[in-house]
Structure 1
Amino acid sequence: MTAVIPIGRLPLLDPGRARLVDDRLVFDAPGGLHRALGDGCFALAMPADFDPAPGRRLARDFHREAGPDLPREAALWHGFRAETAIYFDREHFQTEHLLADAAQRAARFPAPVTAMADRMHDIAGRVLRAILTDLGVAPALWHQVTDGTVAGGGVRWFAVSHYRSDRALDGAPAHKDTGFVTVLYCEQPGLEAELDGVWHDVLPVPGHFLINFGGALELLTADLARPAHAVLHRVRRSGRGPDGEDRFSFAAFLNPGADTDLYRLAPDGHGARAVIPVEDFLKAFNAQTWRDRHAGFGILKRDPAEG
């Protein structure tokens, strides 16, 4: 049996820290944005009134069966393995997860989770607008090159992951997120990121989200003087924590719809050209990353909630 990989075998990545002030990113250290663009990630202070409890509860309960004696309110948080449209069993990894768009969340998720996810997507949009501003991208291009994700459009995925400690497998494969910006909540170790060809442990920063830049943003900014790097990351095999609970996480993603194209900006940020259909990009990602039966994972032409 494969041993659980202990913390400390890799160098540590202590991500740069920032906070949102209106639609501006204010980093704690000089050069913070430059570092974040190179690392492909940074830690963002959570709003003082942000409550992660609904996400924690769903992550710990969605994979449990809803027994007949469970009160109706509690049953809403259980039994998701039967929801084949949004539940994914990753046979080659520890992770099992939910992936739901806005309409699916409204139909199936407990209301507190839906409200929390909306809040995280709003934060993701503010981060994306701040990055485009700081990189000098012409605002007139924002809607076109992001499929409207700067203003609530595109596809707003929300994922909830549970890592099954009884499986002697890696937690999740090495991959880059596919969209523009990811807002990740995790409070247990296990996440690893590659910087300059070297894997690092990424320890959670209390009171902070981890912001990841994805492949769509990397491609969009590739020709700018300061491009954004999409961080390659993975989750090692995870055991139970000191509290006896399995590892979990949840995240909000800003993605373009699959019926549009990914764009690349001109070096001055005032022009752009289409590079590849989003659907082709996502199909290649699924084949290379998960290597399982879920070929259509994360491919949605338009978030139904956006009309």
Structure 2
Amino acid sequence: MKTHKINMQRAIIYQDALLFKTPFSLRAAIEQGLFLLKIPETFNLEPGIKLCREFYLPATSSTRYRGFRPQTDIYFDREHFQTEHLLVDKTRWATRLPGAVVKMVLAMDALGQVILQAALRELGVAQALWASASGGAVTGQGTHWFAASHYRPERHLPGCAEHQDTGFVTLLYTRQSGLEAFIDGGWQPIEPEPGYFIVNFGACLELLSAQLPLSARAIKHRVRECPALPGQEDRFSFATFINPPASADLYEVQPLGELRRLISAEAFLRRFNERTWQDRHASFGILSEQTQGTPNE
């Protein structure tokens, strides 16, 4: 199937409001499953870029950006893909990440909360249900992740598995090709746009809104194999994710407005990990309350 340029909606956040060019653009973005968000001029993305370029390198005494591979509670080697990445939850950002990265991630996470609130409003979910339906994620509770990814060109494997994001909202920064989304029956390239985050909605929001007149789409996406290119750096990306806590339940809003329990978030995540990654990290993205935020390994 031929590929074609995907026309994505564009938005900005101004005074804690998500703004599109037309009143119907948010609806279109929700139905498509992704859109572009203008990166605020005050954002400094360099700490995230530096972390992605260095986290997999041997540690040195002069920087906190290197030496993460031995930290197996937050470092993950995807054995069937080019991807290696860090995944750090909000409770550990301040202690495990460089301070400049923490500042950037907190700002990205705040944008994600604005987007989630706007999406719930557009979907017609009563505000009184937001906290229960999201496990508190809509107001900064729940589980908030930061991921930094490096794609190893020496591995002749797919870049990243075909998947849907599991949570509610994802903000992604990348500036290299490789990302593809399943649109109109085929895999289409999603090229990065300078000065924009790529925003996509996750499976929790799709499940929550499935019975509503307007329902969100958790778009399937993947990263194709990223070969070494002369004079160019390895592909990298970083993202924030807003998810319910693993201890919560996932819900579906019924046509009359009430919530119906579907499945526990932990059970949903374990099924996702087994189906998507097929590796030893069955507890990827699941926090243990007993260990106060350390992934079960």
What is the TM-score of this pair, normalised by structure 2?
A: 0.94
Q: Which residue of 2 aligns with 1:61?
A: 54
Q: Does 1:213 align with 2:206?
A: no
Question: In structure 2, how many angstroms separate the alpha carbons of the residues matched to 1:9 and 1:95?
Answer: 27
Residue among 22, 26, 41 paired with 2:19: 26
Query: Are residues 194 and 109 of structure 1, via their aligned partners in 2, closer, same or farther at CA, if it must alter by over 3 Å?
Result: same
Between stretches 97-106 and 9-18, larger displacement belongs to: 9-18
Query: Are residues 304 and 46 of structure 1, via their aligned partners in 2, closer, same or farther at CA, if it must alter by over 3 Å?
Result: farther
Q: Does 1:188 align with 2:176?
A: yes
Secondary structure of 1:189's aligned partner: coil
Question: Displacement, 1:132?
Answer: 1.1
Q: Does 1:41 align with 2:28?
A: no
Secondary structure of 2:69's aligned partner: helix
Between stretches 136-145 and 23-32, larger displacement belongs to: 23-32
Residue among 193, 209, 218 paired with 1:230: 218
Question: In structure 2, how many angstroms separate the alpha carbons of the residues matched to 1:9 and 1:179?
Answer: 30
Q: Which residue of 2 aligns with 1:12?
A: 5
**What is the correspondence of 1:192-203 to structure 2 with a 5 Å cutoff?**
192-203=180-191
Residue among 255, 258, 264 paired with 2:252: 264
Question: Displacement, 1:241?
Answer: 5.1
Contact 1:14/1:202 (8 A) holds in 2: no
Query: Are residues 40 and 63 of structure 1, via their aligned partners in 2, closer, same or farther at CA, if it must alter by over 3 Å?
Result: same
Question: In structure 2, how many angstroms separate the alpha carbons of the residues matched to 1:299 and 1:144?
Answer: 19
Question: In structure 2, how many angstroms separate the alpha carbons of the residues matched to 1:12 and 1:94?
Answer: 25
User: What value does the CA root-mean-square deviation take over the aligned residues?
Assistant: 1.8
Between stretches 20-29 and 36-45, larger displacement belongs to: 20-29
Residue among 266, 290, 297 paired with 2:277: 290
Query: Are residues 242 and 130 of structure 1, via their aligned partners in 2, closer, same or farther at CA, if it must alter by over 3 Å?
Result: farther
Secondary structure of 1:141's aligned partner: helix
Q: Which residue of 2 aligns with 1:52?
A: 45
User: How many equivalent pairs are there?
Assistant: 292
Question: In structure 1, how many angstroms separate the alpha carbons of the residues matched to 2:163 and 2:43?
Answer: 28
Query: Are residues 222 and 23 of structure 1, via their aligned partners in 2, closer, same or farther at CA, if it must alter by over 3 Å?
Result: farther
Question: Displacement, 1:14?
Answer: 3.3
Question: In structure 2, how many angstroms separate the alpha carbons of the residues matched to 1:255 and 1:47?
Answer: 23
Question: Displacement, 1:15?
Answer: 1.8
Runs of 4+ in structure 1 over 3 Å off: 240-243, 301-305
Question: In structure 1, how many angstroms separate the alpha carbons of the residues matched to 2:11 and 2:292?
Answer: 33
Secondary structure of 1:82's aligned partner: coil
Question: In structure 2, how many angstroms separate the alpha carbons of the residues matched to 1:224 and 1:243?
Answer: 49
Question: Displacement, 1:48?
Answer: 1.2
Contact 1:11/1:199 (8 A) holds in 2: no
Q: Does 1:169 align with 2:157?
A: yes
Question: In structure 2, how many angstroms separate the alpha carbons of the residues matched to 1:189 and 1:92?
Answer: 20
Residue among 61, 79, 82 paired with 2:70: 82
Question: In structure 1, how many angstroms separate the alpha carbons of the residues matched to 2:122 and 2:30?
Answer: 11
